[in-house]
Amino acid sequence: MTDRQPPTPNRGARTRLRLAPPRLPRADEAVRAGTEPRPEGAVDILFVNPPAPDRSIWIRSQHRVGRRSREGMIWPQVSLAQMAALFPDYRVDVIDAIPHRMAWDTFERLLRERRPRYYVTQVTAPTLQNDMYGVFLARSLGAITIAFGTHVTPMPQATMEAYPALDFVLRGEPELTLRELVDTLERKRDTAPGQTPQSQGWWPAVEPQFRERLRRLFVEADPGWRPAWLNLEPASGRTAACCHLSLIKGLVWRHNGEIVINPDRPFIRSLDDLPLPRHDLLPLDKYRAPLVGGPYAFVVTSRGCPGGCRFCIKHVLYGDTVRFRSPEDVLAEVEQLVCLGVRDIHMYADLFTLNRDHVMGVCREILARGLSVRWTCNSRVDFVDQEMLRAMARAGCWMISWGVESGDAEMLRRMHKGTTTDQVEWALRSAKQAGIMNWGYFIIGLPGETEESIRRTIDFAKRLPLDLALFHIAAPHPGTPFFFEVLENGWFRPGTRWEDVDMDRSTVLDYPHLRAEELEKWARRAFREWALRPAPIRTYLKMLLGGPSLWRPTLKIGLESLGWAQG
């Protein structure tokens, strides 16, 4: 203790109220100026299939709904490879996180290394919030964020409102909308003061042959089309966004705090005009399918299906539109894959056998070129005949996936399937006679389902010559007739979130006569009764003995499937 006075008076004794105008510091420009330049591996456009919520295998596709892959099938990201092929004048890359079982911290590190200016991502309903975490990360690094897929096409406004880090949505067929969007934003960025976009031409940085390909794609689909960037008028009093983004068909964007949904983009008229997908950007050696031990790829042969199945996602994207690639164009892609070391291929289509002449043409081309490839496809039972099945087998087809759906005649009628159980039996037995294996898909829980109809489906499945079978739980995906029927009748389970719309393990349906728990119990029982029989067990053992590369995934699939089936 001391009685000495401080060397200076207490300044607090003189403090009085003082109210000055705020002068808050701004460090943005200083930080931006000192930021490291974009890394050497930076790209202009990054196409992404983001990590799964639980690092397991999930299926995302431009043409399909999202779901967990209980069968262990890792779907090649041909949709991303196709979009990447439309940008030869940009630096592009693909990150497919699913086959790598990639964790989010690894993904974030890759994202920082690539540092894209445009981030283009798959989005599905059961992984929606998870997928948007990738959008948030990319936006925080300065990327323009873009989403596409069968969830955001029917739900663009709700998605954009819920996730402010998402800049754009591509509705419907995404390829041309994305090309026009990127070109327009880049032209706006690069147009010097006093310069008019018209003076730069349509695609000045693209080599002439590809420039003509782009012109055909846009103009043949939409004869009155004119590049949106040619409407950039710096001197105009209208905002730049209002001037040009509003002209890009198929685009959903933000303007003055509002979500703007532009008119739909017409479908691509000739699929042959699309460049061959950039399969070289994909981890081909990581993709897997049952009974396939090596590199694996998808080849899209057509788009669209005329079927009327009320549950099908085709109602969201293509409607009744049907377009085919020529057999020659399909085989050019197959040959490209063979050069990349791929000889196991899935002919990926809404309905591969839709046009008999097309199928026979593909088979003839494979045989004429002497290509040693093994391939699979899907089909409806009313779009095959014995001669065509034999031709497919000779050309290398070894398995067909069939949408059987149900063994109950009334259920088939209610879902607008347009097939009968007699047709199913005939088609699958004809395929077997031709030497082709059968994979059957069934749906438990569509409107009108009863315990008796499910019992008939299980008995029917056990009677069919099936090598593999999957029993999905009905999932009302937004935009399908099934979705609107569920909504109108109040059959959604209380508290349903989009992440719950998973056709693999659980259901969001609660019918008065068949509760959600009962549907899940019946789906597990259906698989258990079908799988625990001699013939399916032999198929599983064949998968297990197919080679060292199949041992681990086959064991994992078997254990997971049995665990799910036991509940």
Predicted confidence pLDDT, tens digits, the chain (567 residues): 556 777 778 777 877 887 888 888 887 776 665 556 778 889 999 999 999 888 778 778 777 777 777 667 788 999 999 999 999 999 999 999 999 999 999 999 999 999 999 999 988 888 889 999 999 999 999 999 999 998 999 999 999 999 999 999 999 999 999 999 999 999 876 655 555 555 556 888 899 999 999 999 999 999 999 998 887 555 443 445 456 899 999 999 999 999 999 999 999 999 999 999 999 999 999 998 877 877 899 999 999 999 889 988 888 888 888 999 999 999 999 999 999 999 999 999 999 999 999 999 999 999 999 999 999 999 999 999 999 999 999 999 999 999 999 999 999 999 999 999 999 999 999 999 999 999 999 999 999 999 999 999 999 999 999 999 999 999 898 889 999 999 999 998 887 777 777 766 668 888 999 988 899 899 999 999 998 888 878 877 776 665 565 556 655 555 555 555 565
Element (H, E) at 300: strand 296-300
- Facing residues of 292 across strands? 289
3-state secondary structure of 170: strand
What is residue 10's DSSP assignment?
A: -
User: What is the distance between the terminal CA atoms of the chain, rounded to a whole angstrom?
Assistant: 76
Q: How far apart are CA 235 and CA 77, in angstroms?
A: 43
Vertex 530: Cα angle to 528 and 532 (nearest 5):
65
Residue 268 dihedral angles phi and psi, to the nearest 5°? -60, 130
Among 372, 301, 297, CA closest to 342 = 297
Give the DSSP per-residue string, 389-451.
HHHHHHTTEEEEEEEEE-S-HHHHHHTT----HHHHHHHHHHHHHTT-EEEEEEEE--TT--H
Q: How far apart are CA 318 and CA 264, in angstroms?
A: 12
Q: How far apart are CA 211 and CA 559, in angstroms?
A: 52
Q: Specify the length of the chain in residues.
A: 567
Q: How far apart are CA 181 and CA 186, in angstroms?
A: 9
Half-sphere exposure of residue 140: CA atoms within 13 angstroms, side-chain side? 9
Return the pLDDT at 567: 58
Sequence letter at residue 366: I
What is residue 59's DSSP assignment?
A: E
The pTM of the full predicted model, rounded to 2 decimals, is 0.90
Element (H, E) at 45: strand 45-49
Q: How far apart are CA 150 and CA 63, in angstroms?
A: 7
Return the pLDDT at 61: 77
Return the pLDDT at 564: 53
Return the pLDDT at 414: 96
Q: Can you read off the two tokens belonging to residue 3?
A: 């009685």
Return the pLDDT at 318: 85
Return the pLDDT at 343: 94
Return the pLDDT at 503: 65
- Letter string b/e over residues 430-458, b meaning 16 or more CB atoms within 10 A of that residue's CB: bbbebebbbbbebbbbbbebeeebbbbbb
